[in-house]
Amino acid sequence: MTGEAWIGDSGDSLATTSSLSAGAPPAVAEIDVDAFAHNLRVVRDCLRPDCEIMAVVKADAYGHGAVVLAEAALASGTTWLGVARCLEGAALRQQGIRAPILVLGPTWPEELDALVHHRLTPTVGRCEDADRLNREAARRRLTYPMHLKVDTSMSRYGLLPRDCAAFLDKLGEWSHLRLQGVMTHLATADAPDDGSGTRRHLDDFRGVLRAAADQGIQPRYVHAAGSAGIFRYPESHGNLVRPGISLYGSHPFPSRRAGELRPVMRWTTRLIRIQAVPAGTGVSYGHTFVTRRPSRLGTLPVGYADGLDRGLSNRGEVLIRGRRAPMVGRVCMGLCVIDLTDVPQAKVGDEVVLIGAQGQDRLTVDDMAERCGRIPYEVLCAVGQQVPRRYVGSET
Q: Answer yes or no: do 191 and 221 share one domain.
A: yes
pLDDT at position 254 is 65
Which residues are 269's β-sheet partners?
A: 27, 352
The CATH number given to whatever domain includes residue 347 is 2.40.37.10
Residue range(s) defining the domain that contains residue 368: 5-29+265-392
Is residue 391 among the annotated active site residues?
A: no
Is residue 58 among the annotated active site residues?
A: yes
- pLDDT-derived band of residue 251, with 50, 70 and 90 as boundaries? confident
Q: Answer yes or no: do 94 and 227 share one domain.
A: yes
Q: Answer yes or no: do 184 and 62 share one domain.
A: yes
The CATH number given to whatever domain includes residue 76 is 3.20.20.10
- pLDDT-derived band of residue 321, with 50, 70 and 90 as boundaries? very high
- pLDDT-derived band of residue 18, with 50, 70 and 90 as boundaries? very low
In the predicted model, what is the mean pLDDT of residues 373-384? 96
The last residue of a domain, from among 249, 277, 306: 249
Structure confidence by residue, pLDDT tens digits, 95-154: 999 999 999 999 999 999 999 999 999 999 999 999 999 999 999 999 999 999 999 999
pLDDT at position 194 is 83
In the predicted model, what is the mean pLDDT of residues 62-81? 98
**Is pLDDT of 253 > 80?**
no
Which residues are 270's β-sheet partners?
A: 351
If residue 73 lies in a helix (H) or strand (E), which one and from where to where? helix 66-75
Q: Answer yes or no: do 180 and 76 share one domain.
A: yes
**Is pLDDT of 376 > 90?**
yes
In the predicted model, what is the mean pLDDT of residues 283-310? 98
User: How many domains, in total, are found in the chain?
Assistant: 2
Which residues are 32's β-sheet partners?
A: 392
**Is pLDDT of 193 > 60?**
yes
Interatomic CA distance for residues 157 and 85, integer angstroms:
14
Q: Answer yes or no: do 216 and 290 share one domain.
A: no
Q: Answer yes or no: do 64 and 24 share one domain.
A: no
**Is pLDDT of 21 > 70?**
no
pLDDT at position 5 is 27
pLDDT at position 1 is 27
pLDDT at position 31 is 98
- pLDDT-derived band of residue 14, with 50, 70 and 90 as boundaries? very low
Give the CA distances from residue 86 to residues 64, 72, 299, in Å, rounded to whole numbers and listed in that order.
19, 21, 41
Average pLDDT value for the chain: 92
Residue 11 DSSP code: -
Instruction: Count the alpha carbons within 13 Å of 359 in the hemisphere toward its beta carbon.
Output: 11
Task: Considering the candidates 149, 285, 304, 347, report the single residue annotated as catalytic.
Answer: 285
**Is pLDDT of 216 > 80?**
yes
**Is pLDDT of 252 > 90?**
no
Interatomic CA distance for residues 136 and 89, integer angstroms:
18
